[in-house]
Chain A
Amino acid sequence: MIPEFILFWATAAVCVVGALGVVFAPNVVHAVLSLLVVLFGIAVGFFALGSPMLAAMQIIIYAGAVVVMFLFVVMLLDITEVLPSLGGARGVLAVLSVLGAVALTFAIVAAVTSGGLPAQADAPGGDAATVGWGLYTDHVILLLLAAILLTAAADGVVGLTQRRESR
């Protein structure tokens, strides 16, 4: 059994290196593969946080479907390599936005550590039965909305991308 702190720091290192690869890789294929690394790291994080169900779904949905879709689109298009540019007003905006994200983090951390959110020892497991029970009873409206959204997205994409023969 790996100690939890080794698991966390290894996951954090893999995730951050992968995320930097997504943003700074000049080749788009490398960026997509770096995103795959981050997604696997986050799946490990889900597992460490007691939700093996979500970890499995993360790997199946993201690595199995979304990243493969990205790779297909990269192969479809000829992508000119554009390196990150952070000059002028855009750089100021980027720095301000990242600082805002950091401030938001400190707000959440303060809310967690100030005792506003008490931790519970008897956390329920994250197996398929527990998550499924929550999804199909208390949050069934979210499930229905997600189903409608996915159907609409699939229909819309088919309608968008099919070539019309007669102009």
Chain B
Amino acid sequence: MITEITTTHWIVLAAVLFGIGLLGVLARRNALVILLSVELMLNAANLVFVALGHHLGDVQGQVIAMVVMAIAAAEATVGLAVIVLVSRTCRTLNPDELTELKG
């Protein structure tokens, strides 16, 4: 278990990272740190794709991981643009205080 590394080890590591990222999304009250935590969760998902692709001897896992990277880059770009706009118009980055859209 300590000296013999299996696919399970990598998946558990990815799950720990995913859980920490989820905790960050739910606990932090700063939109920028929430976006950082989402990046963390996406990377954990990538690690599972690559680990299972390696386990199954299939290159598909790496292809999907690459597409996830592209999606994560697009998400970070749009998210940061929205954060800049929100901080410019609302003067805060706390998601709890952003109630402009409430009917």
Q: Chain A, interface size: which category?
A: 35 or more
Closest to A98 in B: B19
Inter-chain contact A15/B17, CB cutoff 8 Å = yes
Contacts of A15 in B (CB 8 A): 13, 17
Q: How many A-B residue pairs have CB under 8 A?
A: 233
Inter-chain contact A12/B13, CB cutoff 8 Å = yes
Contacts of A93 in B (CB 8 A): 26
Closest to A91 in B: B27
**Closest 10 A/B residue pairs (Cβ):** A120-B57, A105-B15, A23-B24, A123-B57, A153-B74, A146-B70, A94-B26, A19-B20, A84-B27, A157-B81
For the complex, give the distance between the alpha carbons of A79 and B91 in Å: 10
Q: Chain B: how many interface residues by the 8 Å CB criterion?
A: 72
Q: What are 11 A-B residue pairs whose CB atoms fall within 8 Å in the complex?
A: A19-B21, A22-B36, A28-B33, A35-B39, A70-B32, A79-B30, A85-B27, A102-B19, A112-B8, A134-B62, A149-B74
Secondary structure type dominating chain B contacts: helix
Contacts of B3 in A (CB 8 A): 3, 5
Closest to B27 in A: A84
Inter-chain contact B17/A38, CB cutoff 8 Å = yes
State whether A38 and B28 are in contact (beta carbons under 8 Å apart), knowing that A112-B55, A161-B84 are contacts in the complex. no
For the complex, give the distance between the alpha carbons of A161 and B77 in Å: 11
Flag whether A113 is at the interface (Cβ < 8 A).
yes
State whether A104 and B78 are in contact (beta carbons under 8 Å apart), knowing that A31-B36, A135-B66, A160-B85 are contacts in the complex. no
State whether A66 and B72 are in contact (beta carbons under 8 Å apart), knowing that A42-B47, A131-B63 are contacts in the complex. yes
